[in-house]
Amino acid sequence: MADVGPALGALSFIVFIIGAILFFVAKGRRPLAKKLLLGGAVVFVAALIMTPTPPPTPASTPAGTKTVAVAPTKPTIDQASAKPVAAVDPKPGLIRQYKAVIDTVRPCDAAFKDLAGANSSQLALYQASKVGHDACGTSSKAVDAFEVPEGLSDKVQVTQRKALATCATAYRFRERAFGKAMEMADSGDIRPSRMTEMQEDFKTGEVGVLLCVSQLIQAAGEAGIKPDDLKS
């Protein structure tokens, strides 16, 4: 069908020329000439209809070039209107963590004090030791899971991380000492060697607890926190 339109156009042009010649030259053939002129015009219109029209080319795009779709640009953020990120004050977080550590280890500290009054019987010693063993184990695991608060300087981070590790280790020694006390009370094995092992673990734990608290206070001081702020 694409070739029919141009062919009809050529035919209409020929018919139109013949009709024009007959109309002006052969006056006796004018009726025929009129028919040829009219027929040529009709065929010409038909040729226009049957000739495929090429798709329009945008005026801004040269022929033969590809049109590339451009994604709409995203609005840029005005740097002047952007709000500055507020710096995190490390003091409140450090104070909260100090108090959280003290609260976490309090059950173990209480069990350590209660053990002194449990020497009346083997059963009382076992029960008090079990309470202390469980409490100190829970305290050690909880302190070991603490994360250093955000916003601390590198120096304070090192001190605080060291303090938390010291605290967790100290209460781990207390847990182990209570465990040995449980075994002694349960088995009745009070040999000097067993007593010495238990006492050494308790002493190591006690020194560790004192060091734990002092390092926590040191980290707070490095962050500009006063000792009185830790008590409130």
Taking the domains of the chain in order of start, what are their residue ranges? 4-50, 90-231
pLDDT top residue among 79 and 195 = 195
Residue 113 pLDDT > 50: yes
- The 3-state DSSP class for residue 80 equals coil
pLDDT band at 25 (very low <50, low <70, confident <90, very high): low
**All residues at 6 or more sequence positions from 126 whose CB lies less than 8 Å from its CB, including other chains:** 182, 185, 186
Least confident of 62-71, 100-109, 139-148, 166-175: 62-71
Structurally, at CATH architecture level, domain 90-231 sits in Up-down Bundle (1.20)
Q: What are the φ and ψ backbone dihedral angles of 225, each rounded to 5 degrees?
A: -95, 130
Q: Taking residues 123-147, what's their average pLDDT?
A: 95
Q: Taking residues 95-109, what's their average pLDDT?
A: 96
pTM score: 0.61
CA distance 16 to 40: 5
pLDDT band at 186 (very low <50, low <70, confident <90, very high): very high
